[in-house]
Chain A
Amino acid sequence: MARTVIPFGPQHPVLPEPIHLSLVLEDEKVVEALPTLGYVHRGLEMLAVKRDYNQMIQIVERVCGICSMIHSLCYCQGIEEMLGIEAPRRARMLRVVWSELHRLHSHLLWLGLFADSFGFESLFMQLWKIRERVMDLNEATTGNRVIVSVNVVGGVRTDLDEAQVRWIKDTLVEVEASIRSLQSTIMNDTTVCKRTKGVGVLTKQAAYDLGAAGPMLRGSGVAQDMRQLKYAGFDELAFEPVVETAGDCWARSTVRFRESLQSIDLVRQALDKLAPGDLAVKVKGKPEGEVITRVEQPRGECLYYLKGNGSTFLERVRIRTPTFANIPPLAAILPGLDFADVPVVVLSIDPCISCTER
């Protein structure tokens, strides 16, 4: 049969954000997939030359709507390295708390969207119901639901009191119980397994060669997580990357499911280690020099390159987000799949296109 080209996206019911894939089909089989990006470019990196380095914190937070806290954490870390200061221990622990809460709600959001992509609506609603508890934790402790603006250069702006710490711990017990009650559905349900097991397999070697990041990489058996770099307060916390070896959609969703439980554990550990202390150190001087920092986002490794010239304005900010790294592996695993499996596989990389295009 002759080849047919079917456009997938930028507007597609399964996609939360615009990415376009030109799918070349032979019958129902995909033989080639060509991704096209550039629908939501906002030029945020360029704003660095117009806003001073403190105002940039609120701008880099808006690179991503889901992992905003982790973006500003990475940025502040870079500026702190340039200025030669280090955030106090309490601030570093609080950064862990909020970044892990962000990872938790991001993974719950993704697990819900993933369930939605193969039509499992009740699982989708159930996961988002649990996620709402985490969003309440964010709003009550920081003031905002998603874009929390807690980071400043040199530390954090907001503190947690004893009552809030207790409340977070109590809520997380309930959140953990409700996530665990869905474990058998996400990992063993017949419908879920039929749509995800053996679909979109990315081998360990291919994942490494194509530069996959985050759960995509760990789902293929490579134990690489930027939290192993011990940034923020991770140096004092017990942490092992979550790894699955199958490399298919099931492995990727299992990695994210187990990571959301791991995040709850890390929040607990960080709250236990929260000792009284300063929230921020005093900042002196202007950033000068070049620096590269990396953190682990829910979607994988996020890299910031910052260049300062000794003024209040940075000369260059370059952000490399995990979805950008995950698009080549996506284009590699799509050929050979059934057309009906494409939405599931595309969603399994957790595409965050606003991040990618900034």
Chain B
Amino acid sequence: MKMLPTVIANLFSKPATRNYPFFVREPFEHARGELINDIERCIFCGACARKCPSQCLTVTKDKTEGIWTLEFFACVGCGVCVDVCPVNCLSQKTTHRPVAVERAVITLRGKLPERPAKKDRPDSIEKTAE
């Protein structure tokens, strides 16, 4: 019976829930959602793949291009990769991916950064100095 005032107050107040598919709450500004890679800026250093706790990222290179893959079902959205990215090409949206029924992997390909010519590389300069 002690609950009665609360129950009556609830009867005459707005519903606490939203009519979900028709009314969606705006996501919070800092919410961590879907992981995005701006592949044009990516240098394929692999820092994200090494630090990822759920090992959902892989970075491989072949002769001409770099390949960045994200297994988004394994991603836990912790944001560690975003923190460690040296060129800040990784970012997180505030919303999540829509529900999917098939397992899939996001594969992005991009140009490898141009390496400086051999004589300009710091390690070769040191060697000549010796």
Contact = CB atoms under 8 A, between A and B. Distances in A.
Nearest to A130: B16
A144 B32 contact: yes
Interface stretch (A22-30, A179-187, A253-261): A179-187
A194 interface: no
Interface stretch (A5-13, A88-96, A135-143, A217-225): A135-143
Nearest to A47: B53
A58 B32 contact: no
Contact of A189 (B2, B31, B80): B2
Contacts of B10: 126
13 contacts: A55-B51, A55-B52, A58-B76, A123-B3, A126-B3, A126-B10, A139-B28, A140-B28, A143-B79, A144-B31, A182-B3, A189-B3, A190-B1
A51 B2 CA distance: 52
Interface string B3-34: 10111001000001000000000001111100
Contacts of B1: 189-190
Given A57-B53, A143-B30, A189-B1, A157 B83 contact: yes
Contacts, number: 64
Interface residues of B, number: 24
How would you classify the secondary structure of chain A's contact residues: helix, strand, loop or mixed? helix
Nearest to A164: B30
Contacts of B83: 157
B10 to A, nearest CB: 8
Top 7 closest A-B pairs, CB basis?
Answer: A143-B32, A58-B53, A55-B53, A140-B28, A149-B78, A185-B2, A189-B2
